Amino acid sequence: MTGVQSIERAFAVLRALSLGPEGVTNLAKQVDLPKSTVARMLSALEAEGAVVQREAGGVYELGPLLDDLSPAGRAGTHLMRMARPFLNELVFVTNERAGLSIREGRDVLFLDHVSAVNEVEVRDWTGLRMPLHTIASGLVLLAHADAAELNGYFTEPLEQVTEHTVVDPTAITERVAAARGQGYAWTNSESVDGISSVAAPVRGTTGLVEAAIHVHGPAYRFPGEPGEQLVGEAVKEMAERLSNQMLRLD
């Protein structure tokens, strides 16, 4: 097993545990790996504090190391559980990959993704970070920052990730205002060449925007015949439904 393969498998296990505690047998089924391989991986992750087992023979859950590495990511674990059914529905409606993200500083952190079945599949962005101004999720998160925070974002250089990345503060401010008004935002080839993405904001239990859900796919087929407005409205509606469910938890 290569080092890269080991890392990929470890993240698969951690993603499965992010949805809730599980035993070795169920985890092995979820990540499609031999039980012995998952058991060894859990032992190594436990030694690092990435997972914990409260009692011998019991289930495993995410450990304290993840608190230290990403407090916001850990705080989003419950949100991930709540969001999963809505992401699944978005995949069914759009036949493209759907995901959940939060803001971490100047970046978007992708917490979770649900795959679609396509001949040309888009990579899983889970665990990756992208500058806020380069991706639809970032634009809708910036749309709900206050004016001082938004202006502060422009005090540092804006990364030009692709030739299509918009880095002009005035243009970004206009896009952010549009996202605030219509409830969703689109980007095309601004963070990854050839990839279109649409996102809408998700409100947490306090009523404040805490996350975004999105759909992304190859620009040659997405959004396709429905068009940007209809797909955007569908993502917005799903985000509102998730937000309403989160608000009911308060």
* Residue ranges of domains in the chain, CATH in brackets: 3-66 (1.10.10.10), 71-247 (3.30.450.40)
DSSP 8-state assignment for residue 133: G
Residue 136 has pLDDT above 50, yes or no: yes
Three state DSSP letters for 18-46? CCCCECHHHHHHHHCCCHHHHHHHHHHHH
Report the candidate in 146, 148, 144 with the shortest Cα–Cα distance to residue 208. 144
pLDDT, mean of residues 90-97: 92
Measure the CA–CA gap between 204 and 217, rounded to whole angstroms: 26
Three state DSSP letters for 187-234? EECCCCCCEEEEEEEEECCCCCEEEEEEEEEECCCCCCCCHHHHHHHH
Residue 63 has pLDDT above 80, yes or no: no
Residue keyed to tokens 């795959």: 115
pLDDT, mean of residues 210-221: 94
Residue 250 has pLDDT above 70, yes or no: no
25-39, 48-62, 133-147, 155-169: segment of lowest average pLDDT:
48-62
Q: Residue 186, SS3?
A: strand
What pLDDT was estimated at residue 77?
60
Residue 124 has pLDDT above 80, yes or no: no
Residue 177: band (very low, low, confident or very high) from pLDDT cuts 50, 70, 90: very high
Residue 100 β-bridge partners:
112, 213
Residue 74: band (very low, low, confident or very high) from pLDDT cuts 50, 70, 90: very low
Residue 119: band (very low, low, confident or very high) from pLDDT cuts 50, 70, 90: low
Measure the CA–CA gap between 137 and 153, rounded to whole angstroms: 16
Whether this model's pTM surpasses 0.75: no
Top-confidence range, 101-105, 172-176, 207-211: 172-176
Residue 120 has pLDDT above 60, yes or no: no
What pLDDT was estimated at residue 75?
47
Percent of the chain whose pLDDT exceeds 90? 52
Residue keyed to tokens 């949100």: 79
Residue 122 has pLDDT above 80, yes or no: no
Residue 73 has pLDDT above 50, yes or no: no
CB 180 within 8 A of CB 143: yes
DSSP 8-state assignment for residue 162: S
- The 10 Å CB-count burial string (b at 16+, else e) for 50-85 is bbbbeeeeebbebbebbeeebeebbebbebbebbbe
Residue 59 has pLDDT above 70, yes or no: yes
